[in-house]
Amino acid sequence: MPKTPADFPQDLLAAQLALHETRAAYERYAKTLPWSAEPMPGWEGEKHLHSEYRSGKADSPGYTEEQAAKVARFQERLLELSIAVSTHPFWDSVDVGDRVEARMALKRAHEPAEA
């Protein structure tokens, strides 16, 4: 059962790292986008009984064509990398009962070693 990065094939490690990096880049980019992909009116919630807090959102202009295209490219790349990792031939060499633990070890393979 693989437990260290050395136990995994280099191309599988590279695909997993690319998946982590792409997901992180997508999440950073998504934070810059309007809250709705389509133009939507905003709203202001009612005042809460025991609080001054009011929920609400400003109007969303929706995504521009450029933003929508960039989101689509991120999603396509994430799908491609997810498929590459999950269908890699390496998994056929791991006992079925050990695959979940091995998959979790691969996900953590790029984390710094604990001191």
**pLDDT tens across 80-90, in order?**
999 999 999 99
When the pLDDT of each residue in the chain is averaged and rounded to a whole number, the result is 92
Q: What is the DSSP string of 54-89?
A: --EE--B----HHHHHHHHHHHHHHHHHHHHHHT-G
Per the structure block, which two tokens stand in for 75? 């999603």
For the cut 90, the answer to whether the pLDDT of residue 15 exceeds it is yes
Give dist(CA 80, CA 19) in Å, integer: 9
State the angle between helix axes of 10-30 and 99-108 in degrees (0 to 180), rounded to the nearest 10: 60
Domains of the chain, by residue range, sit at: 5-37+63-108
pLDDT at 5: 75
For the cut 70, the answer to whether the pLDDT of residue 115 exceeds it is no
Question: Residue 56: pLDDT band by 50, 70, 90 thresholds?
Answer: confident
Helix and strand tally (H, E) in the chain?
Answer: 3, 2
Per the structure block, which two tokens stand in for 102? 């091995």
